[in-house]
Amino acid sequence: MSLWVDKYRPTSLGKLDYHKDQAAQLKNLVQCGDFPHLLVYGPSGAGKKTRIMCVLRELYGAGVEKLRIEHQTIVAPSKKKIEINTIASNYHLEVNPSDAGNQDRVVIQELIKTVAQSQQIQSSTQREFKVVLLTEVDRLTKDAQHALRRTMEKYMATCRLILCCNSTSKVIGPIRSRCLAIRVPLPSTEEVCNVLTTVCKKEGLLLPPELAKQICEKSGRNLRKALLMCEACRVQQYPFSADQDVPETDWEVYLRETANAIVSQQSPQRLLEVRARLYELLTHCIPPEVIMKGLVTELLSNCDGQLKTEVAHMAAYYEHRLQLGSKAIYHLEAFTAKFMAIYKKFMEDGLDAMMF
Amino acid sequence: MDEYEELLGMEDDFEQQFADELEVMAQMDDDFRKRGPQRPQEDISDIEHLLGDQPVTPKAKRQKQDAGVVKRLFDPSQTQEVTAPSQSDDITPPSSPEQYEPSRPFRSTQAVLDISGFAAIPESPWRPAPATASLQVLKRPPLEGDYISVTDSSGSRVYLRQKEDTGPKVVDPRTVRNSQGGLGLLAVPVEVLREQEAEKRHQQVMEESQRLTELLANGVDEVLVEPDSREGEANNNDEEEEGHRSRLWVDRYSPQHYTELLSDDFTNRCLLKWLKLWDTVVFGRERKSRPPQPDRQAANQNSSKPNQANQNANRFKSKSQLTEELLEAELDQYKRPKFKVALLSGPPGLGKTTLAHVIAKHAGYNVVEINASDDRSAEVFQKRIDTATQMKSVLAADQRPNCLIIDEIDGAPVAAINILLATLNRKDGQGGEAGTEAMKKKKKKESILLRPIICICNDLYVPALRPLRQQAFLLAFPQTQPSRLAQRLAEISRRQGMKADTGTLMALCEKTDNDIRSCINTLQFLHGRGQRQVDAKMVQSVSVGQKDQNKGLFHLWQEIFQLPRMKRKRVGEGFEEGAGAGGGAQRFQNILHLASSSGDYEKVAQGLYDNFLSMRVRDPNLHSVCEALDWLSFSDKLNQVMLHGQNFSLLRYSPFLSVTFHFLFAHTHVPRINYPHSQHEASSRLHSSKNALSTMLADIPACVRSRLSELSLTVDILTLLLDIICPKLRPVNPQLFSSREKQQMRELIDTMLAYNLSYRQDRTPEGQYTYVLEPRVEEVVRFPGLPPRRQLTYQAKQTISREMEQEKMRRAEQLMLLRNPAKEEPKQSAQPKPAGNHLNHQQRLENIVRQTTVETRPEVDFFGRAVAPKPQRPQPTSDSGEKSTELAMGKAVGNSDVWFRFNEGMSNAVRRNVYIRELL
C-alpha cells in the first residue's frame, strides 16, 4: 500500500477532495434509506471507484473494507465452465463481467442470483440489501445488458446494483432509466494541483506549483495518472525543480511519434510503417478507441485549421465503424489513409497557390 | 479359378507368340483374351438367368429401364433401338453403344455388382442381328417375317419389315474405335470380327430406321412439340427416348481399355502394378513357376514379381524411384502387398474412378463400388466391406474375385474409416497360415483381408483420412495433358458430328482446367443446344464449363493482383471504365467467380490487406488506398453483422471485396504475395500480453486489486509504476543506508509486493546472470524504438530481491503467529512436564520461552476465539527496543529446531549486536 495513489485514497465521503456537493448528495442518498441502483460514469481517473467505495462504506461501515478475492466457477448452459474472479466483502460483491467474454450474461445472472437469494438475518441492525458492483459495464454485451433489466427489478428487495463505466453510450436505455445516473467529471486543474500538493506535504516533500501544473497538464487531469507521475518525478529527482521533465507513459510517446510519421510523409510505404506501429500499439493492450482518440488529438494539433473540421469528421466516422466492426486495425488504418489523402491534397493545393 | 487357369495358359501362348510387341499392346491383348473365352459363357448364363426370371423379355435390356417399362412394351429392345437414334446424328456411332460396340462389354454399370441381374447381358454380337428394314412402311404388322414397330412422338405406330441381310462381310477396323492400330498388327480374333460385323449391320438398321422416323415425324406432325405434351400411349416411348438422351457422353465415351486412359501413364502403371501384387494371394499364382523371359527382363528384377509389373518396371523406374521402391516391397506373411489399400487423390474430373475400374477389370477382378451415394454409416460400411472382400458371387457366371473400390472416401465419416482400418489390420487367428488356406475359412468372421481395396478421394488431407494415409499406397493424380484431352475431344466431336478445331478444344481444356468430365459435358451441352460448330468465342462465352472448384488461396490472390496476360489494357480507376469494356466485365465475373468459390473470405481479405500496399500501383493521391480500406472496413462490418446476427444471407456480398481490389490494384507485373501472418501474429502477441497482465492481477491483494482493472493498468499505471520501482539507490550495503534511504527501500518493497512484482534471477544464454521482473509486464508496456528507461543495476536488483524475500518471510511469519497463537500455547506449556526428553537448547531457553509465551498470550473473546490484534510490522529504525527483540527471539527459538548463541566477549573484532530476526 505504498503507492501514493493507494496510500492517500480517501475512504469516506466526507474526506473527498473535490466535487464535494456531489459527495454531500450521495451522503443524503444513503441516509434517507431508499437507496436506488446507481450508474456511475465518467472518464477514467476521475475517482468513480473511490466514490463508490466511499458510498459503500457509508452504507455498511468499515466492514466493506475487508476484501477477499474469490474464484468462482460458473457452468454455462452449454456445459462450458467460466472462471471468474470476484472481490467481495460481507456486504458487497464486485465483478468485472467483461472478463467472461461472450458468456457474460450467464455470469451476471448467476452471480446476482446467488447474492440476492441470501437474505440478511438481522435486518434491523443492517441494511436489508447487498450491493453488487459491476465494473466496465460499457463492455458488456447487449445480451447481458438485456438480461440485467429483468434481474434488476426482480431482486430489488435484496440487492442493489452499482454500475460503473466510462461512457453511458454503450449502456442500453432500459438500464439507464432504471438507475440513478451519477456523473463523476474530471477534477479541474486547480483541484488536481491541490491534491498533489497535499499529498506531497503529507510525504514531507515540497512540490513547486509550476511542476504541479505541468504534471496536471501532462496527465490530462487524470488524477490517478497525475499522482503516479508525481511519484515517478520524486523517484527521478528529489529536490523537485520547476522545469523537471515529467515521465510519460510509453504508449503516448509512441503514438505521438506515429502521428508525426503520418504528417511528415504520405505514401503507401509510410502507411505500411504506420500499420506496423498501430499493430504494436494494439498488441500492447491499448484499446483501439484510445488509440484513435490519441491519434486524432495529435493529428489535429499538427494540421492546419482549415482541415480540422474535416479530420474530426473523418475520425468520428471511422470510430463509429470501429465500434461496429471487430478488426480494429482496418478502421484505424482507413482513418490514417484518409487523413493522408486529405492532408496531401491540402499541402499540394497550398504549394500550387504559392507558386502562382 | 479353373477358368482363370485356362486363361493363364492362353496368356502364356500369346506372350510366346508376340514376345516383341510393345508392353502396352500386350496389356490390351491381355484384356481381349480375357474376354474372349468368357463371353459366351457369361452371355448364356445371363440369358438363362433372365429366362427364369422373366420369360416375356428374352432380349437384352438396358439396365436403366426397369422391369415395369419392359413389360408394357411390345418388343422393348427393338422398339428402343429403332426409336432411339432419332436424337442422334447421321454419322454417329450406334445409338446404344453399350450393346453393339465392342468396347462396351465391360461397362462400369455392368461391372458393378448388380442384384437385378439385368446388367450382365448386354453384348450379344453373335445373336442374329435385326435385319435391315425394307423401305416399305406398313401400317399394320406384316403377316410373315420379322418386323420392327416404329412409334413416333405423336404416337402413331408403323411397322417395318425385316429382311435378312446377305451383304458381304467387310471388316472395317475403323468402326472398332478402341482396337484400331493395336489389332491391325495382330491376327484378329474371330469374335472381334463378328462383333464388328454385327455392329455394322446394326448401324445400318439404325440409320435406316432413323431416317424413316424423321420422315414420319415430319409427315404426321409438322411441328415437333415437346414429347411430354403427348398423350399416354406415347409415354413409354418418350421415356425411353429421354433415357437415351440422358446418356451422357461422358459415360458413352468413357475408356474401356487401359490404353485408352487419358490420365498420366505413370500413375496408371503404378496402380496396375500395385494391383498385380495381389495376384499371389488372390489368384494363388506363384509367379516363380512361370517361364522367365530373360531377353526382356532387366537383371535386377526378381522373377517372383508379377509379369506385367515387371515389364512396366523398366519404364517408370527412371521416373520415380520412390514409388517403385514402395511397390517392390516384400509381401507380408499372408503374401499380401505391404500396402493393403491404394489411395488415389486428385481434383475432380481427371478420371480417377475410371482408372480404378478399368485397371481392376484389367487385372481380372470384379468391381464392387461403394460411393458417397451409398449409406456409409459404420455398420453398413462394415457389412459391405466384409461382403465385398470375403464373398464372391455364386449365381452369376462371373466368378471373378472382387475388388472393392471406395469412391469419394473423403466424405465418409470417421467411424467408417476406422472400420476400414480395422479391416486392414486384422490379424488372423492362426498366425502362420497361408493366405489361400485362410480363404477357405470364410465362415469365420474375423478373417484377414485378402482382396485389394482402392480408395478414391479429392482431398487427401481431410482430417478423417489421416490414419488411412499412413497405411495406404498414395497416388496423386497429376493434371491431364491438354493435348491428349483435346485429341480425345476432337474424336468425340467428330463422332457426334460437331465441328471443332484444335484451338477451340484447347481453349475449352484450358477453361475447365483439363477436367475431362467438364469438357465433355460442355461439348454435349453445346451439341444439345443444336450447335454443330464450336468456335473459341463460344467456348469463352459459355459458363457451363466452369465448375465450383477450390483453388489455392495464393492462386486467388495472384489472380486478383495480376491483370490477365492477354489484355494489356491498363485499368486504373474503377468500375466505370472497366465495366464498359468487354474485358472489364469479364474480369469482374472471373474474379467474382474465383472469390466466391474459394469461400474463405476472411482469409482472403487478410491476404489482400497484407499485400495491397506493396503492389506497384501508382497512386499519388492515395485515393485507391482509401477506397480499398473503406471496403475492408465495410467487409469487416458486414462480417460482424453476419456473425453476430447469424444473418448469413449477407454472405453473398463478401466476394465483391476481391473484385474491388482487383480493379484497384491489378497490375501486369507478377505480384509477390506473402502469406498473411500479421493478424495471427498480432493476436498471439496480444494474447501473451494479456496473459502477463492477468498473472500480475491474479495475486494482487484484494484491497489493491479492487482499484485496478486491466485497462487502467495498461493505459495509466504500469509504465509509471515501473519507473517508480526503479529508484536511485546508493550502491552500498543496505545496512549502511541512512534512515531516509531505508524508508525509501521499505516503501519500494511494499509497492512491489502490493503489485505482485518480484525479481527472479535468470541466466542469459551468454552465461551472465540477470534479474528479470516477474511477471513479465515490462514487455507489455515497453515499445520498440523509444529511448530505454532507466534500469537498476544488477547489485541494486539483487539487494531488492533479497530484501523482498526477507520481507515476505517476515510477513508470512507474522501471519502464522496471528493465525495460531492459541494452538501453540497448550503445546508449549505442556512441554516442560515430560522433563526427560527435553532437547538441550530447549532446557536452556526454557526461561525465555516461558516468559515470551506468557507475554504473547493472545486476547480471547467470549467464545474462545482469538481477537486479531493489529498487525505489527517490525520496524527496524523505530525504538522497538530490547524487549520486543527478545520476544521475537523467544518465539523463533520456540518454533524452530535451529538455534544459535553468540558468546560475547570472545573476539577482539568489532562487536555488533546481531538479532535473530536479522538473520531470518
In a 13 Å sphere around the CA of B71, the CA atoms on its Cβ side amount to 6
Instruction: Tell whether omega for the bond before A187 is within 30 degrees of 0, i.e. cis.
Output: no
Provide the pLDDT for residue B48: 44
At B117 the pLDDT is 44
What does A37-96 look like in DSSP terms, one character per residue? -EEEE--TTSSHHHHHHHHHHHHHGGGGG--EEEEEEEE-TTS-EEEEEEEE-SSEEEE-
Q: What share of residues in chain A are helix, strand, coil (percent, to 5)? A: 60, 10, 30
Task: Kindly determine whether residue A9 and residue B689, on different chains, have CB atoms separated by under 8 Å.
Answer: no
What's the rounded Cα separation, in Å, for the pair A33 and A35? 6
Contact B96, B84 (CB under 8 A): yes
Q: Which residues of A43-81 are buried (b: 16+ CB within 10 A; e: fewer)?
A: ebbbbbbbbbbbbbbbbbeeebeebebeebebeeeeeee
Q: Give the three cell numbers for residue B795.
A: 547489485
Interchain CB contact of B445 with A (< 8 Å): no
**pLDDT per position as a tens digit, B185-218:** 556 677 778 888 888 888 888 888 888 777 766 6
In this prediction the ipTM stands at 0.89
Residue of B nearest to A324 (CA): B637
Among the listed residues B528, B529, B525, B513, the one whose alpha carbon sits nearest the alpha carbon of residue B480: B513
Question: Do the beta carbons of residue B403 and residue B368 sit within 8 Å?
Answer: yes
B609 burial class (0-12, 13-18, 19+ CB within 10 angstroms)?
buried
DSSP B772: E
Q: How confident is the model at residue A308 (pLDDT cuts 50, 70, 90)?
A: very high
Retrieve residue A34's grid coordinates.
431508499
Best of A285, A318, A346 to mutate (most B CBs within 10 Å, chain B): A285
Nearest residue in A to B779, CA atom: A284
Q: Does domain B549-564+584-675 fall into CATH 1.25.40?
A: no
CB contact under 8 A, A268 and B693: no
B875 and chain A in contact, CB less than 8 A: no
Residue B259 has pLDDT above 50, yes or no: yes
Residues of chain B numbered 576-615 and touching chain A (CB < 8 Å)? 609, 613-614
Contacts made by residues B368-375, CB under 8 angstroms, sequence distance 24+: B368/B112, B368/B113, B368/B402, B368/B403, B368/B404, B368/B405, B369/B112, B369/B404, B369/B405, B369/B406, B369/B407, B370/B404, B370/B405, B370/B406, B370/B407, B371/B406, B371/B407, B371/B408, B372/B407, B372/B408, B372/B411, B372/B412
| pLDDT greater than 70 at residue B730 | yes
Q: What is the pLDDT of residues A231-255, one digit of tens each?
A: 988 888 878 888 888 888 889 999 9
Terminal-residue alpha carbon distance, chain A = 67
Cell 527412371, residue? B318
Nearest to B335 by CA among B432, B400, B429, B270: B432
Q: How far does A31 lie from chain B, in Å, by closest CA? A: 25
| Contact residues, chain B, for A5 at CB < 8 Å | 707
Least confident of A43-47, A315-319, B67-71: B67-71
- Per-residue pLDDT band for B36 (boundaries 50, 70, 90) equals very low
> Among A68, A283, A348, which would you mutate to test the B interface (most chain B Cβ atoms within 10 Å of its Cβ)?
A283
What was the pLDDT predicted at B844?
A: 55
Instruction: Give the integer Cα–Cα distance in Å for A54 and A61.
Output: 10
Q: Which residues of A fall within a CB distance of 8 Å from B626?
A: 334, 337-338, 341
Q: Does domain A250-355 have CATH number 1.25.40.420?
A: no
Q: Is residue A83 a contact partner of residue A71, using CB atoms and an 8 Å limit?
A: yes
Q: Give the percent of chain A with pLDDT over 70.
A: 98
For residue A269, the chain B residue with the least C-alpha distance is: B613
Cα B917 to the center of its chain, rounded Å: 69
pLDDT at B620: 80
Nearest CA in chain A to B606: A330
A-chain residues near B690 (CB < 8 A) = 285
**Mean pLDDT value across residues B864-878:** 53
- What cell numbers appear for B575 in the block? 468500375
Q: Which of A96, A286, A311, A327 to mutate to test the interface with B (most CBs of B within 10 A)?
A: A327
pLDDT, mean of residues B66-91: 44
Q: Which residue among A3, A272, A337 sits closest to B751, beta carbon to beta carbon?
A: A3
> Using CB atoms within 10 A of its CB, is residue B26 exposed (0-12), middle (13-18) or buried (19+)?
buried
User: In the structure, what pLDDT confidence band is assigned to residue B895 with cuts at 50, 70 and 90?
Assistant: low
- Which is higher by pLDDT, B286 or B408? B408
Q: Which residue has the higher pLDDT, B555 or B284?
A: B555
B717 touches chain A (CB under 8 A): yes
Q: Summarize pLDDT for A160-190 with one digit per residue, the tens.
A: 999 999 989 889 999 999 999 999 999 999 9
Please determine, for residue B75, whether its predicted confidence score (pLDDT) is greater than 60.
no
Q: Report pLDDT for B909.
A: 61
| pLDDT score, position B755 | 86
- Residues B160 and B138: their CA atoms lie apart, in Å, by 6
A98-152 residue pLDDT tens: 888 788 888 888 888 888 887 766 666 677 888 999 998 988 888 899 988 888 8
Q: Does domain B263-476 have CATH number 3.60.20.10?
A: no
Note the pLDDT of residue B708.
Answer: 83
CB atoms within 10 A of CB A149: 14
B83 pLDDT tier (thresholds 50, 70, 90): very low
* Smallest CA–CA distance from A134 into chain B, residue: B706
pLDDT band at residue B289 under the 50/70/90 scheme: very low
Distance CA A298, CA B297 (A): 83
Q: Which residue of A has its CA nearest to B726?
A: A235
Using a CB-CB distance cutoff of 8 angstroms, which residues of chain B are in contact with residue A135?
709
Domains of chain B, by residue range, sit at 263-476, 549-564+584-675, 684-819
Q: How far is CA A90 from CA A61, A63, A111, A127, in A?
A: 11, 7, 15, 12
Measured between alpha carbons, how far is B773 from B765 in angstroms, rounded to an integer?
Answer: 17
CB contact under 8 Å between B780 and A285, yes or no, is yes
- Mean pLDDT score across all residues of chain B: 69
Task: Judge: B682–A324 Cβ closer than 8 Å, yes or no.
Answer: no
Q: What is the pLDDT of residues B596-644, one digit of tens each?
A: 887 788 888 989 998 888 887 777 888 889 999 999 999 999 998 888 8
Q: Which residues of chain B are within 8 Å of residue A281 when distances are taken between CB atoms?
A: 783
For A279, the closest of B682, B698, B781 (CB atoms) is B682
Pairing of β A81-88 and β A92-95: antiparallel
CA distance A18 to chain B (A): 19
- Inter-chain residue contact B613 with A268, CB threshold 8 Å: yes
Assigned C-alpha cell, A16: 473527498
CB-based burial of residue B523 (10 Å sphere; 0-12 exposed, 13-18 middle, 19+ buried)?
A: buried
**Distance (Å) from the alpha carbon of A150 to chain B's nearest alpha carbon:** 22
H-assigned helices in B432-535 = 435-440, 466-471, 482-495, 502-511, 516-528
Closest partner residue to B715 among A68, A266, A286, by Cβ? A286
CB proximity under 8 Å: B 765-784 to A: 780-784
At B223, is the pLDDT very low, low, confident or very high (cuts 50, 70, 90)? very low
The nearest CA of chain A is from the CA of B783 a distance in Å of 7
Angle of CA points B621, B622, B627, to nearest 5°: 130
Interchain pair A284, B714: CB under 8 A: yes
Nearest to B784 among A68, A69, A280 (CB): A280
pLDDT reported for residue A1: 52
Alpha helix stretches (DSSP H) within B820-911 = 821-830, 840-855, 881-895
| pLDDT for residue A51 is more than 60 | yes
Any A CB within 8 A of B707 CB = yes
Scan residues 243-272 of B and list those with Cβ closer than 8 Å to A. none
Nearest to B720 among A94, A232, A329 (CB): A232
Does the fold of domain A250-355 match that of domain A4-183? Answer: no
Which residue type sits at B98?
E
The string of DSSP letters for A1-34 reads --SHHHHT---SGGG-SS-HHHHHHHHHHHHTS-
* Inter-chain CB proximity A282 and B786 less than 8 Å: no
Across the range B41-63, mean pLDDT stands at: 44
Nearest Cα of chain B lies from the Cα of A118 at a distance, in angstroms, of 23
Report pLDDT for B332: 65
SS3 B520: helix
Contact between B623 and B560 (Cβ < 8 Å): no
**Shortest Cα distance, chain A CAs vs residue B864, angstroms:** 22
Whole-number pLDDT of residue B832:
46
At B340-364, the pLDDT tens digits run: 888 888 888 888 888 888 888 888 8
Does residue B695 sit at the A interface (CB-CB below 8 Å)?
no
Check A2 against B689: CB less than 8 A apart. Answer: no
Beta strands in B97-140 (DSSP E): 132-138
Rounded to the nearest angstrom, the gap between the alpha carbon of residue B546 and the centroid of all alpha carbons in its chain is 21
CB contact under 8 Å between B640 and A286, yes or no, is: no
Alpha-carbon dihedral of residues A176, A180, A183, A184, nearest 10 degrees?
-130
Asked if the C-beta of B470 comes within 8 angstroms of chain A's C-beta atoms, the answer is: no
B747 interfacial to chain A (CB closer than 8 Å): yes
For chain A, what are the domain ranges? 4-183, 189-236, 250-355
In the prediction, which pLDDT does B631 show? 93
What the block records as the C-alpha cell of A308 is: 480540422
Q: 3-class SS at B213?
A: helix
Percentage with pLDDT > 70 across chain B: 57
> Measured between CB atoms, does B721 come within 8 Å of chain A?
yes
Q: Do A250 and B786 touch (CB under 8 A)?
A: yes
Please, which residues bridge with residue B405 across strands?
A: B369, B454
Which chain B residues have a beta carbon less than 8 Å from that of A326? 636, 639-640
Pick from B323, B123, B88: nearest CA to B206: B88
pLDDT band per the 50, 70, 90 thresholds, residue B554: confident
Q: How far is CA B911 from CA B732, B902, B906, B907, B919, in A?
A: 20, 11, 10, 8, 16
B693 shares contact with chain A (CB less than 8 Å): yes
Contact A44 B715 (CB under 8 A): yes
d(CA A215, CA A236): 14
Q: What is residue A297's predicted lDDT score, i.e. its pLDDT?
A: 92
% of residues, chain B, pLDDT over 90: 2
Dihedral pair phi/psi, residue B859, rounded to 5°: -75, 140
CATH for the stretch A4-183 = 3.40.50.300
Query: A–B: how many Cβ contacts below 8 A?
Result: 187
- Check pLDDT > 60 for residue B741: yes
As a whole number, mean pLDDT of residues A324-343 equals 92
Nearest chain A Cα distance for residue B655, angstroms: 17
Q: Across residues B567-591, what is the average pLDDT? A: 55
DSSP one-letter code for B624: H
- Torsion from C-alpha of B411, B415, B417, B419, nearest 10 degrees: -150
Q: In sequence order, what are the residues at sequence separation of 6 or more whose Cβ sits closer than 8 angstroms to the Cβ of residue B179?
A: B28, B32, B102, B103, B173, B192
User: Distance between CA A354 and CA A313 in Å, rounded?
Assistant: 28
